[in-house]
Amino acid sequence: MRFLSESPSLHAHCYRVLDDNGQLIRHSNFIQVSEDIAVKMYSNMVTLQTLDTIFYEAQRQGRISFYVTTIGEEAINIASAAALTLDDFVFPQYREPGVLLWRGFTLQEFANQCFGNKADYGKGRQMPIHYGSNKHKYFTVSSTIATQIPHAVGAAYSLKMDKKDACAVTYFGDGGTSEGDFHAALNFAAVTEAPVIFICRNNGWAISTPTSDQFRSDGIAVRGQAYGVRSIRVDGNDVLAIYSAVHAARKMAVNEHRPILIEAVTYRVGHHSTSDDSTKYRPADEIEWWRMARDPVTRFRKWIESNGWWSSEAESQLRSSIRNQLLQAIQLAEKVEKPPVKDLFTDVYDDLPPNLREQEKLLRETINRHPKDYPADVPL
């Protein structure tokens, strides 16, 4: 009689290509990237970093209501996006705007969404950072945790049935793996052999709950194996490791019709959101160490500089240009009028049902009675 141990004798291996100083680890096996792709990845990481800084400041100034940063997780965003094709469908959580950025979503489109103006594709009905784009096959962000994971499996199964040369990709945090949706999705994907890539950003924290209070397993990768899903653990701050792992995962998912789970080990350097103060539950020096010693942007910059593909002059020009573009986008987004009141009730039913007509009527009557209690920039 032998019981399986509750913990393995060996921890799952973590795949790395670059060391903390941006140098190739000897005998590393990775997918080669061209100078053009490497520079584009780095430029997108800097853009994402700058986007976070400026929009976070805008929220603190009261110009937008809410924001979530990706500080410390830029490599996962950009490198994974670069390894996919534009035919693949993305089901994000809320910390993956870099994927949308890589696919061509403009800085103006980001600003329009965060300010909820008339040009926002969601018509102001979503919180800031809840992006979505049909054009870029990027499903609209939902605040509810992990609901997108089974959706991705269903989409992947559909792609398989239609014999498409594409896969579905879904992102989530370590906290998402504590939801039932994660477990149902992995089992569903394994049984149906759906071409889906699960990318878990294991950043150590589910808001204020550390991974040590979430699970006792050896991270996330072993859970995939338990469900019959091929899995890998990757250094989430290593651009080349993420790019190579996602590139290989996509090839297996599409060609072999199988799900793949990628556990990207990283750290959430920023607060959970602008509604959070993470110094209340974790040491400030721990945050600073990850910001300075394990920053994925600095690490990748060292590698492209060592190849002669980047310089201090290019760095200065890029950061100045992106900052100016973002400030202009924000100024323009602020001036665009808000969506009209009627948009609160449209796009669900073809013909508005009586109860919604009644609600719209009551809302308009209330606004007319108490005009000072409602925003003056929302057209009636």
Q: What is the pLDDT of residues 67-80, one digit of tens each?
A: 999 999 999 999 99
265 lies in a domain? yes
> Which pLDDT tens digit goes with each residue over 128-140?
999 999 999 999 9
Does the residue 360 lie in any domain?
yes
Residue 192 belongs to a domain: yes
Which residue from 146, 133, 268, 259 is spatially nearest to 201, judged by alpha carbons? 268
Q: Which candidate in 65, 143, 158, 311 is catalytic?
A: 143
Q: What is the mean pLDDT of residues 100-121?
A: 98
Domain co-membership, 310 together with 363: no
Rounded Cα distance between 121 and 134, Å, is: 9
Same domain membership, residue 364 and residue 278 = no
CATH of the domain at 49: 3.40.50.970
In a shared domain, residues 365 and 246: no
Mean pLDDT of the region 331-339: 96
**Structure confidence at residue 8 as a pLDDT band (50, 70, 90):** confident
Flag whether 9 is in a domain: no
**Cα angle value 327/124/127 (rounded, 5°):** 80
The pairing of strands 168-173 and 89-91 is parallel
Bridge pairing between strands 168-173 and 209-210: unpaired
Residue 157 lies in a domain: yes
Whether residue 143 sits in one domain with residue 56 = yes
Q: 172: which strand partners?
A: 200
Residue 88 lies in a domain: yes
Q: Which member of 80, 231, 273, 278 is catalytic? A: 273
pTM: 0.96
Amino acid at 246: V
Closest residue by Cα to residue 294 from 75, 68, 46? 75
For the chain, the domain total comes to 2
Q: 248 and 121 share a domain?
A: yes
The reported pLDDT for the residue numbered 9 is: 77
Residues 347 and 208 in one domain: no
Q: What are phi and psi of 216, to 5 degrees?
A: -110, -5
Identified catalytic residue from 130, 136, 271, 272: 272
3-state secondary structure of 51: helix
Residues 212 and 321 in one domain: yes
Residues 331 and 354 grouped into a single domain: no
pLDDT in tens, 281-291: 999 999 999 99
* Same domain membership, residue 153 and residue 222: yes
Q: Clarify whether residues 263 and 354 are in a common domain.
A: no
Report the half-sphere exposure of 40 (CA within 13 A, side-chain side): 14
CA distance linking residue 68 with residue 217, whole number of Å? 28
Residues 301, 171 share a domain:
yes
Residue 180 and residue 301 in one domain = yes
Give the residue numbers spanning the domain of 366.
Answer: 341-370
Tell me, yes or no, if 57 is annotated catalytic: yes
Cβ-in-10-Å burial (0-12, 13-18, 19+) of 332 comes to middle
Q: How confident is the model at residue 375 (pLDDT cuts 50, 70, 90)?
A: confident
- Identify whether 272 is a catalytic site residue: yes
Which residue type is seen at 231? S
**Is-contact 41 78, C-beta < 8 A?**
yes
20 within domain boundaries: no
pLDDT of residue 5: 85
Q: Does residue 67 sit within a domain?
A: yes
Q: Given 13, 35, 57, 208, which residue is catalytic?
A: 57
pLDDT tens across 319-330, in order?
A: 999 999 999 999
What is the per-residue pLDDT for 163? Answer: 97
286 belongs to the catalytic site = no
